[in-house]
Every structure is written in C-alpha cells, then in structure tokens.
A = this chain, B = another copy of it.
C-alpha cells in the first residue's frame, strides 16, 4: 500500500468532533424516557423514537426541532392522544434547553487547529439544522480558524463532491476528520479522498455502522497532527 499524499485541505466535522453534541441529546432522551415512563418502557421509547425520527427525516431533516416534533408524535401515540399538558410543556422546554446548551469543545481542539494553521487549508463541514449549527459555530469561537464553514443537510458523496469542486482541491489531497463512519468517512472514501475517524464516546443509533473499519481510526483529535506529519510548511497551499 502506498502512502497517501499529504493533504492540502483538512476538513473537520462539527458535532462530536469539535464540540460535544450527542451526550446532550442522550441526556435529554434520558429525561424523555422518564417522562414517557407511565406509558412506555425505556427500550420501547428508544425504539419508537428512532423509527419515528427515521420516518420523519424526509419531512423534517436533522436537528433538535425535528427531534422534538418526533418525540411529541411518539408520546401522543403512546398515550392514545391523551398526553397531559405538563408533559408537552416539559418536552418543549427540553428542546429549548438543548438548543441553547453552551458549546463545549472537545479536549485538544484549539491546540490542534492552531498547530495546523498555515500548513493546510482548514474547513468545517457540519450537518444539521442551519440556525442551530450557525449558533454553535459562533459560540465555539472557532469560525475564524476556518477558510470556509459549510452547514449541509446531508453528508453524501454529492455534497462532498460539490464542496471539493468549490474548494478547487483534488480528492487525493483532501482529508476529512470526523466521528461518524456513515457521514464523515464512507462518502469521502467513495470519492477517492482521505478520511480518518475519531470515534466519539457515544453514537446516535441512526449513525451506527456495522463492520470493522478499513480506514484509519485515531483516538483523539491531537493525533491528527502526527497522522498529517508529512504536511508541507506554510507554502504551496493549493
């Protein structure tokens, strides 16, 4: 196997790569389980919610508002339409808390980006609700470190192809760094670009990927520096 070319562009995923996200969703889902306990077991709530979220993806797309509307649908169904007002109010409150949650960066993010600055072009590619992602980028303070920030509605090969074209970079010289095999790795490899996975402590069931990874897996974001050690100094940036 030949060594990959040193990347000219390194793109980072946002949720669960640069900042915590899924732990906050899971904390809210725990509260949702408690809220639904009079009508559903925890496992049944999880099962129905995942199925409803998946069905609703074509209507709603990703994000907290979609999660809230799907949760409401599950609870309404579980109670045969007799859902108490306080439960609805609590659900709406949980959604707002989740949307307004402070952004917490993962360890080593700032140091890693600072060490890469000037050596490669840095890009942020994050999936989900436009407004919420924009709020998180603002709150993270990381925006100015990136040449470009892209909020996309789906991370599929077509989306990555468009971005690579707009960045005017060869796939071989593009490296994607992210936690999700389904969103950050597989569609990127499909284009002949490079990708490394940094698994997060928890994974949303929808993003689960079966099978052993046939791509590089790193433990923490700081490991990207060693991985990309063959990077040029701050010249020849295209």
Footprint of B on A, CB under 8 Å? 59-63, 65-66, 68-69, 72-73, 76, 79-86, 88-89, 92, 95-96, 99-100, 129-132, 134, 151-153
The answer for the CA separation of A81 and B69 in the assembled complex, in Å, is 17
Q: Are B81 and A82 closer than 8 Å at their CB atoms?
A: no
Q: Which residue from B69, B83, B100, B130 sits with its C-beta under 8 Å from A59? A: B100
Q: Are B79 and A92 closer than 8 Å at their CB atoms?
A: no
Copies in the complex: 2
Distance between A49 CB and nearest chain B CB, rounded to angstroms: 15
User: Please, which residues of chain B bring their CB within 8 A of the CB of A82?
Assistant: 85
11 A–B contacts from the bound complex (CB under 8 Å): A59-B100, A72-B72, A76-B88, A76-B89, A79-B85, A81-B84, A82-B85, A83-B88, A88-B88, A129-B131, A130-B151
User: Please, which residues of chain B bring their CB within 8 A of the CB of A76?
Assistant: 85, 88-89, 92
User: Please, which residues of chain B bring their CB within 8 A of the CB of A152?
Assistant: 130
Q: Are A85 and B85 closer than 8 Å at their CB atoms?
A: no
Closest to A151 in B: B130
Closest to A95 in B: B69
User: Please, which residues of chain B bring their CB within 8 A of the CB of A132?
Assistant: 61
Distance between A160 CB and nearest chain B CB, rounded to angstroms: 15
Q: Are A65 and B62 closer than 8 Å at their CB atoms?
A: no
Which has the most chain B C-beta neighbours within 10 Å: A73, A82, A131, A152?
A131
Contact A131 to B62, CB < 8 A, known contacts A68-B69, A69-B68, A95-B69: yes
Closest to A152 in B: B130
